[in-house]
Amino acid sequence: MIMAQLYVVQSADFLFLLRQTQMTPGNLSAHLSKLEDAGYVEITKEFIERKPHTALALTKKGRDAFKQYRRDIRQIADKLPE
């Protein structure tokens, strides 16, 4: 779900993903840390008007991995009986 949300945008902030995924802040943060460790997501933390802001974007590796995942799912779905 996180990868799909980030795939269709240049970047998104933490609050946007929180609303879209309906995860808890801790759960989303944990998932993002794992995606960052895998090299799939770039996390940029900054302050805007003295408020913390976390921007998230797929890396090239993450975008390529999601494209491959979509191809794999399509192949599996095409083989299912109707």
**Looking at residue 82, what is its pLDDT?**
81
In sequence order, the β-bridge partners of residue 56 are: 12, 43
CB atoms within 10 A of CB 37: 9
Helices (H), the chain: 2-7, 14-21, 25-37, 60-79
- Find where tokens 């990868």 sit: 3
List of domains in the chain: 2-79 (1.10.10.10)
- 10-residue mean pLDDT profile of the chain (82 residues): values are 95 95 96 97 94 96 97 95 86
Q: Half-sphere exposure of 82 toward its Cβ, with a 13 Å CA cutoff?
A: 1
